[in-house]
Amino acid sequence: MFPVFRQISCTLCKQNITRNKRFFKTSTSLNVFWERDDKGGYKDNRPPPSFKEKMRDGLKELKHEIALWSEEVKERFENDPLLIFRPGEVDVKWQFGNEESLKKWIVTSDSDNNEGFSKCSLSLTNDGKGLFSGDLSLRVPKDGRVKRAGYCNMKTIRARKSFKRETHLDWTSYNMLVMRVRGDGRSYLLNINTRGYWDITWNDVYHYVLFTRGGPYWQVAKIPFSKFFLASKGRVQDRQGPIPLNKITSFGITAGERHAGDFSLEIDYIGLEFDPNHTEEFAYEMYKMPKYLVAT
């Protein structure tokens, strides 16, 4: 009887295990927010460099990376959190003045991705200021895919440490974005990228509009971080919230106004400021909606 009982018990155990398997995920879970790549489908068509080219380029950059690492070590010992900022003073993060300052920016347009005919560039003026200029074209390519065209963009290179280690910019000590610019009367879109670890946050960008006036005079624009709103792939999100200022990866400016023609934005500097009189955390009123009704 014992072998029979043992056989029946084993059979029942196998049935219980088989029955309980439905509570465990044994296959790859589906995620509706899964992103195929971190560039949203915009791929680099250039052929990858060979191993010999990688080694040659890597050795060229070794000296620069070691110097950058030594600066990190010095900053760690010399930096005093109490002296990072003072109320009312502008901490300049990006300023133009030489060719080296232009290497911190990437300039793209719709024509670079075969989605339009706009052209733009970032150069230095005779006074050593940055000049973001070009021709904005609203003409749509006749490929049956693109429905709307016309944008030019300048964006800072991803924040990183030495030896290509990616990092974030920490702006938690500030509450204002300060820019000294001279525009042409157009409106420009300011972009603060907060790409996180998970793919659902790869395209999270906080926007606000920079209004410029034409003429020969410079203007200093102070924009609170509380005014920026969240969007993803150009769509304003239903669920809003303040910027995670400790997760900034890059800053950009977009010329995408729906008026074709030349544009010109002269930039002196882009900085940060702490204004003790500004106490607003977030400018936009949010309503509590039923679960699963609001898109994140």
DSSP labels for 54-74? Answer: HHHHHHHHHHHHHHHHHHHHH
pLDDT at 47: 79
Q: Where does the pLDDT of residue 108 fall: very low under 50, low under 70, confident under 90, or very high at 90 and above?
A: very high
Report the predicted TM-score, pTM, of the whole model to 2 decimal places: 0.79
Residue 110 backbone phi and psi in degrees, to 5:
-65, -30
Q: Are 107 and 154 in contact (CB under 8 A)?
A: yes
**Gap between the Cα atoms of 16 and 206, Å rounded:** 51
Highest average pLDDT, of 39-43, 82-86, 155-159, comes from 155-159
Beta carbons within 10 angstroms of residue 123's beta carbon: 13
Which H/E stretch holds residue 192? strand 187-193
Q: What is the CA radius of gyration of the chain?
A: 26
Tell me the average pLDDT of the chain.
82
Task: Give tens-digit pLDDT for 116-151.
Answer: 999 999 999 999 999 999 999 999 998 888 888 999
Does residue 8 register a pLDDT over 90? no
Q: Are 225 and 243 in contact (CB under 8 A)?
A: yes
CATH code for 85-273? 2.60.120.430
pLDDT at 294: 60
45 or 131, which is more confident: 131
Does residue 288 register a pLDDT over 80? no
Listed range (68-82, 173-187, 233-247, 276-290) with the worst mean pLDDT? 68-82
Which class for 232: exposed (0-12), middle (13-18), buried (19 or more C-beta within 10 A)?
middle
